[in-house]
Amino acid sequence: MICFPNAKINIGLNITGKREDGYHNIETLLYPVRLTDILEIIPLPGKNSDMVRLINTGLKIDVDASANLCVRAWRELCHIRQLPPVEMHLHKIIPHGAGLGGGSSNAASVLMTLNEMFELNITSPELALIAGQIGSDCPFFIYNKPVFAKGRGDILEDAGIDLTGCRIVIVHPGKGINTAWAYSNIKSKKPSCSLIDLLQTDPLTWQDRVINDFESLVFDAFPVVKDIREKLIESGAFYSSMSGSGSAVYGLYSSKDDKVNLQDQFPGMFVWEGIL
């Protein structure tokens, strides 16, 4: 079975406090985008064997296969259901270390695909609980719709935000940001205005009001990320921001009809353009 795990962007990201479990409390809007990886899962001969094989093409994932989130998702499901051995072929397109949730999306897609393939009849809320054991962003991809995320990112509420028809450009400079580094260096603060209230205003007014708290930290350490955002704004984006803890930056444009065509402005970088 073949599926297409998609990326996400964060629209606004406030770090509101440090938790006792070591995580941070956040508030953010998670929005799905159509940039996808390609994932194929096929059963292998044998029954109830603790064996999974992962093949990675496209962008290389620089972790041991046993630590890959796809494999972790398979093992989490094996804890509650008997599964045959499987082979997974992941063709990676979504940049990693980008704040686009590619790894989390892959893991969620494994859970949903195995659930369908083997007729496990696990409900979406149950899958979301399993996904939460793998990563904070994983439950979002089970539902895969715009949501307001709180807590460590696992408390999801319908957002009522619809940007359908907007054009989006995503630029990744080629260097990822280590998430652990970003969170260990960020300072939490109480936002002056509720993010959810700001997001109810006209999107054309979001720039410089709907803020990603990681931007000041990352911009100082990696000025190229700030340069990307400035170029996207200059090109006509009504809103541009870094996604997650970086390093990908996106720009939102009002029209779906006219391509922005920014490849020449970002030589050697990953540039993707699509419609929300």
Q: Which residues are catalytic?
A: 8, 137
Give the separation between CA 1 and CA 236, rounded to whole angstroms.
40
Distances (CA, A) of 218 to 55, 142, 189, 224, 226: 33, 29, 17, 10, 8
Find out whether 58 and 91 touch, Cβ atoms under 8 Å: yes
Token digits of residue 77: 């499901």
Q: How many CB atoms lie within 10 A of CB 242?
A: 26
Nearest to 70 by CA among 99, 103, 38: 103
Nearest to 253 by CA among 274, 224, 225, 226: 274
Query: What is the signed CA dihedral for 79, 82, 85, 88, rounded to 10 degrees?
Result: -60
Find out whether 107 and 144 touch, Cβ atoms under 8 Å: no
Give the separation between CA 171 and CA 247, rounded to whole angstroms.
9
Give the separation between CA 234 and CA 222, rounded to whole angstroms.
20
Nearest to 195 by CA among 22, 9, 33, 30: 30
| Residues 116-143: b if buried by 16+ CB within 10 A, e if exposed | eebebebeeeebbebbbebbbbbbbbbb
Token digits of residue 214: 């990681």
| CA atoms 138, 142, 144, 149: torsion sign | negative
Q: Residue 100 corresponds to which amino acid?
A: L
